[in-house]
């Protein structure tokens, strides 16, 4: 019974979460040859002020709204 955890920044719409859960489940089913109902996908969301990379909070590095649909993302 595979359990997959996806950690993302808060703010993505539920449609995106549905799509990623479906895509990941499909990939696990095909790769591990298991039934879809055996696959659990957990989506953990984090506020940008609680997530840092390279010693810098994402809230400071990327600004509000980073990663949300329609918001320009920095390279």
Q: Are 58 and 51 in contact (CB under 8 A)?
A: yes
Residue corresponding to tokens 């920044």: 9
Domain boundaries, the chain: 3-67
Instruction: Output the tens digit of pLDDT for each of the chain's 75 residues.
Output: 999 999 998 889 999 999 999 999 999 999 999 999 999 999 999 998 998 999 999 889 887 766 665 455 544
CA dihedral 8, 11, 17, 23 (to 10 degrees): -50
Residue 2 among the catalytic residues: yes
pLDDT for 71 equals 53
Task: Specify the pTM.
Answer: 0.78
Kindly report the CATH number that applies to the domain delimited by 3-67. 3.30.429.10
pLDDT for 67 equals 65
Of 2, 13, 36, 64, which is the active-site residue? 2
């Amino acid at each position: 019974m595979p359990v997959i955890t996806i950690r993302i920044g808060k703010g993505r719409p539920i449609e995106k979460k549905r799509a990623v859960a479906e895509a990941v489940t499909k990939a696990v089913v095909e790769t591990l040859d298991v039934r879809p109902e055996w696959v659990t996908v957990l989506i953990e969301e984090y506020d940008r002020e609680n997530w840092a990379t390279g010693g810098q909070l994402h809230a400071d590095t990327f600004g509000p709204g980073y990663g949300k649909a329609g918001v320009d993302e920095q390279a």
